[in-house]
Structure 1
Amino acid sequence: MEERKEYIIEHVAYRFLKQGIRNVTMDDVASEFGISKKTLYQYFSDKEALVTEVVEFLIASQDFKFNNPAVGNAIDMTIALRKRISPVLKMYHHNMEAELKKTYPALYHRVYDFKRKRIFDNTMENLKLGISQDLYRPDIDPFFISKLIVGRILYTMNPEYKIFEEYEVHSTALYDHILDYHMHAICTPEGLHYYKQLTNNIQNETSS
Structure 2
Amino acid sequence: MPVETEETLSIIKVSIFKFAENIQISVAKERILEGAHSLFMQYGVRSVSMDDVARELAMSKKTLYLHFSNKDELVTEVVRFHMDGEMAEFGRVIESAVNAVDEIFKLAKCMREHAFRVNPSLLYDLHKYHAEAWAIFQEFKSEYLVGQIIDNIERGKQEGYYRLELNARVLAILRMEIVQMVFSDQVFPRSEFDFIEVQMQVFDHFVHGLLSEKGKQLYQEYQSQEVNNHSK
Shared fold per TM-score greater than 0.5: yes
1:109 matched residue in structure 2: 135
Quick one: structure 1 residues 138 and 67, their matched pair in 2 at CA, closer, same or farther if it must change by over 3 Å? farther
SS in 2 for 1:60: helix
1:136 matched residue in structure 2: 162
Within the candidate set 12, 31, 37, 1:13 is matched to: 37
> Cα deviation per residue 1:152-177 (whole Å; 9 max; x = unaligned)?
2122x1224x3323374631x33332
TM-score by length of 2: 0.80
Letter of the 2:72 counterpart: E
TM-score by length of 1: 0.88
Give 5+ residue unaligned stretches, structure 2. Answer: 1-24
CA distance in 1 between counterparts of 2:132 and 2:59 reads 30
Quick one: structure 1 residues 88 and 132, their matched pair in 2 at CA, closer, same or farther if it must change by over 3 Å? same
Within the candidate set 84, 91, 114, 1:88 is matched to: 114
Higher Rg of the two aligned structures:
2
> Cα deviation per residue 1:65-122 (whole Å; 9 max; x = unaligned)?
2772432100000011111121211221132222222221222122123123233211
2:58 matched residue in structure 1: 34
Between the two proteins, the alignment pairs up a number of residues equal to: 205
CA distance in 1 between counterparts of 2:29 and 2:95 reads 35
How far does residue 136 in structure 1 lie from its aligned partner after superposition?
Answer: 0.9
Letter of the 1:26 counterpart: M
Letter of the 1:183 counterpart: V
How far does residue 141 in structure 1 lie from its aligned partner after superposition?
Answer: 1.9
Within the candidate set 37, 46, 49, 1:25 is matched to: 49
Quick one: structure 1 residues 159 and 3, their matched pair in 2 at CA, closer, same or farther if it must change by over 3 Å? same
1:72 matched residue in structure 2: 98
Quick one: structure 1 residues 66 and 153, their matched pair in 2 at CA, closer, same or farther if it must change by over 3 Å? farther
Quick one: structure 1 residues 22 and 139, their matched pair in 2 at CA, closer, same or farther if it must change by over 3 Å? closer
1:51 matched residue in structure 2: 75
**What's the C-alpha RMSD, in Å, of the aligned pairs?**
2.0
CA distance in 2 between counterparts of 1:175 and 1:4 reads 35
Quick one: structure 1 residues 182 and 36, their matched pair in 2 at CA, closer, same or farther if it must change by over 3 Å? closer
Give 5+ residue unaligned stretches, structure 1. Answer: none
Instruction: Point out the more displaced range, 70-79 or 133-142.
Output: 133-142
The list of structure 1 runs, each at least 4 consecutive aligned residues, that deviate by more than 4 angstroms after superposition, is: none
